[in-house]
Structure 1
Amino acid sequence: MHSMITRKVTVAGFDLSSYRDCLNKGNKAIEVMYAQCMEVGKDKCLPVYYEQLVLHPQHSLKLILDFLGITWSDAILHHEDLIGKPGGVSLFKIEGSTHQVIKPMNLEALSKWTGHIAGDVFRDMAQIAPMLAQLVYDSYANPPNYGRPDSIINNTHWVLKGDDKTPANLKGYLQANQNSTSSRLGSS
């Protein structure tokens, strides 16, 4: 929800000025999706926990690709090396999440939300988002302990410093886009 709110990703019916509203409505959406997944069964739907995908990307991605019947490639762990290359990954420069996708796998987003949710919302979290408990999350941990990451995630320290590899074809655009976004945010 934090990413959706901070990037101002509009979703019908969600009040982006309210973590309480977004968490409540997001909880309802997850409840429906999870119930549908359980109903169709494990042969047709594979629940994937984002945190586990980020902490243990090779294991998680191998499970996902196996589920989809796709052959594993080590290049999957280094998608950032294929961005903008022939036969590689193409990105839209105006897509709001491009600046995140160009980074190597890292843990930045796991705790970026901490400190942004009001105390009353955190206190009521078990009622606002009961799916957290059903999916075995601690509703009151701030920040939560998601576990220890695999060694591939050692990218986080230099991503946070801004030393990640931005493809040359996106460098100028991303800087201009971030400045434009910052100035729009400052004037709102």
Structure 2
Amino acid sequence: MCDMGPKTATPPSQWVYYERLVQRPSDETRRVLHFLDVPWSDDVLNHQDKIGDEIRLNPNEFSTSQVKEKVNEKALTSWFGCYTTDFLKKIDKLAPMLRKLGELHTS
């Protein structure tokens, strides 16, 4: 099992949650760029407008089609209802790392 202790893990204050990134893209990207010591640019939030002119994408990269679009807020909830109750009851056994990473919010 992966050691999630303080010696090896990034502090929770530095974690980037997808949900927060989608819901508050400006706040989260500013926080990440500050951590990386990279100056802020409004272009970060409008990346899709730069593709083709300033940014070239690899057509063979799986995520290329997603990068061409704005942040997709619908993705946050589009998976709701996809998992059976039986599957969710077994989630700790099937994916124990979810709870360790703070991503499992079931009882």
Does 2:19 correspond to 1:51?
A: yes
Does 2:102 correspond to 1:133?
A: no
Aligned-partner Cα distance in 2 for 1:119–1:50: 24
Contact 1:133–1:139 (CA<8 Å) still a contact in 2? no
Per the TM alignment, residue 40 of structure 1 is displaced from its structure 2 partner at its CA by: 4.6
Aligned-partner Cα distance in 1 for 2:91–2:50: 40
TM-score of the two chains, using structure 1 as the length reference: 0.47
One-letter amino acid of the structure 1 residue matched with residue 34 of structure 2: D
Residue of structure 2 in register with 1:177 after alignment:
none
From the superposition, tell whether residues 128 and 62 of structure 1 become closer, same or farther in structure 2 (CA, over 3 Å): same
Q: Which moved more, 1:106-115 or 1:58-67?
A: 106-115
Q: Pick 1 or 2: higher relative contact order, CA cutoff 8 A, min separation 6.
A: 1
The gaps in structure 1 that reach 5 residues or longer are 1-27, 141-188
Determine what percentage of the aligned residue pairs are the same residue.
32
Does 2:35 correspond to 1:35?
A: no
Q: Which has the larger radius of gyration?
A: 1
TM-score of the two chains, using structure 2 as the length reference: 0.77
From the superposition, tell whether residues 49 and 97 of structure 1 become closer, same or farther in structure 2 (CA, over 3 Å): same
How many residues in Structure 1 have an aligned counterpart in Structure 2? 105
Query: Which runs of at least 4 in structure 1 moved beyond 4 Å after TM superposition?
Result: 40-43
Aligned-partner Cα distance in 2 for 1:126–1:117: 14
Contact 1:52–1:60 (CA<8 Å) still a contact in 2? yes
Residue of structure 1 in register with 2:87 after alignment:
121
The gaps in structure 2 that reach 5 residues or longer are none
Per the TM alignment, residue 77 of structure 1 is displaced from its structure 2 partner at its CA by: 0.6
RMSD, aligned α-carbons: 2.7
Give runs of aligned pairs for residues 154-165 of structure 1, distance below 5 A.
Answer: none
Per the TM alignment, residue 106 of structure 1 is displaced from its structure 2 partner at its CA by: 2.2
Residue of structure 2 in register with 1:153 after alignment:
none
- The structure in which a higher percent of residues are helix is 1
Q: Deviations over 1:44-101 (max 9, x none)?
A: x93211111111111111111011010001110110011111xx22111222221211
Q: Deviations over 1:157-180 (max 9, x none)?
A: xxxxxxxxxxxxxxxxxxxxxxxx
Aligned-partner Cα distance in 2 for 1:66–1:92: 28
Residue of structure 1 in register with 2:49 after alignment:
81
Give runs of aligned pairs for residues 1-188 of structure 1, distance below 5 A.
Answer: 32=2, 35=4, 38-40=6-8, 46-85=14-53, 88-134=54-100, 135=102, 137-139=104-106
Aligned-partner Cα distance in 1 for 2:93–2:106: 9
